Structure 1
Amino acid sequence: MTGPGGREQGWGSAVTAMERVPVREPARHSPFVDVVADPSTDEVWFPSRPGQAGAARRTVVSVLRRWNLPALCYAGELLVSELVGNAVRHAGARHFALRMARRRGWVRVEVRDPSRALPCLVPLVRELDERGRGLFLVHTLADRWGVDLLPDGKTTWFELRAPL
């Protein structure tokens, strides 16, 4: 993705190893459907409803299996669920987007929403806490994670090391 001033955001120079497809908003006339799409070739849009975390999980697992990375399925499934949960609960938008990319030794999963409000990592999560666990899990299980602010929202992402 290209940010202000023409600078690429997210993967920086590593993006040249993989083509990024321009962002497209979902068509107004076509309904969202709960099918497995391919977020490795284009953004996949989902309606902002709690049940869509399951669709996002299935999509991530499907792509990881296609890439022959079954060892990453559990972490990818759990972490994308947390990012989608944050987007659905806190972004206040009608939809969010999912994208995945792979480069040598890494897999990246991105969830984009139209809110520019930054997610908050709670520094100390206790056993009985009901809130604040999402980003704590992402912080603990992902090899890297972060947020890229965009002119029209943000992309929250995580990366997992992938076998070569």
Structure 2
Amino acid sequence: MAGLEGTEQPRRGVGTADPAGSMPIVADEPVLKMFELYGNPALGEIRLPSRPRSAAGARRLTQLVVQRHWGLSERTAEHAVLLVSELVGNAVRHTGARFFGLRMLRRRGWLRIEVRDPSRGLPCLLPVRELDTSGRGLFLVDTLSDRWGVDLLARGKTTWFEMRVAER
């Protein structure tokens, strides 16, 4: 979406400055280590190893940025965390990549989160039945986000979702 900026000023808090020195981080030790190792996904795309445990880190980073830095509601943060988990899970399980990218963007009234991977295979929104035990990821993305999509790149794709957010 044109006009989205990942560098919108976050809500101020008490904590340690991030590696770029531009915002305080109020977080637990594992999240602080992730910021040190990978950077801040609100300042630009970060690369994470394509391993199942990276999903937990992506969830923690999302929680931190959405709720603590941007000051958005707990419900918005919960939905964003769930949807990031689904997109990261797809990137880890289905692409065979060594890394995936994570980026978070914000502009007035909107939040956008992107997961980039080197596969050009498109995700597929499947019908979901009550007793299905898998295949619900994109159904959740479709249900909880206001918009979502996939942008094909020269090498890979970016799967993204956007959510309308209330300004405090």
Tell me which interval the TM-score lies in, with the shorter structure as reference length: 0.7 to 0.9
The gaps in structure 1 that reach 5 residues or longer are 1-10, 20-32
Aligned to 1:35: 34
Partner amino acid, structure 1, of 2:34: V
Q: 1:1-164 alignment to 2 at 5 Å?
A: 11-12=1-2, 14-15=3-4, 35-36=34-35, 37-64=39-66, 65-71=68-74, 72-122=76-126, 124-164=127-167
Moved beyond 6 Å, runs of 4+: none
**Distance in structure 2 (CA, Å) of the matches to 1:128 and 1:44:** 36
- Contact between 1:34 and 1:55, CA under 8 Å: does it hold in 2? no
% identity of equivalent residues? 59
Contact 1:109 1:158 in 2 (8 A): yes
What are the ranges of 5 or more consecutive residues in structure 2 without an aligned counterpart?
8-31
Amino acid paired to 1:104: R
- Give me the whole-angstrom Cα distance separating, in 1, the residues matched to 2:58 and 2:33: 9
Question: How many positions carry a matched residue from both structures?
Answer: 138
CA contact (8 A) 2:118 2:156 kept: yes
User: Quick one: distance in 2 between partners of 1:129 and 1:105?
Assistant: 34
1:83 counterpart letter in structure 2: L
C-alpha contact 1:125 1:136 (8 A) present in aligned 2: yes
Using the alignment, how far apart are the partners of 2:58 and 2:120 within structure 1? 21
TM-score, with length taken from structure 2: 0.77
- The Cα of 1:70 is off from its aligned counterpart by 3.0
Residue pair 2:146, 2:163 contacting (<8 A) in 1 also: yes
User: TM (normalized to structure 1)?
Assistant: 0.79
**1: distance between equivalents of 2:84 and 2:93?**
14
RMSD (Å), alpha carbons: 1.7
Give the letter aligned to residue 35 of structure 1: M
2:50/2:97 contact within 8 Å kept: yes
Could you tell me which amino acid in structure 2 is paired with residue 49 of structure 1? R
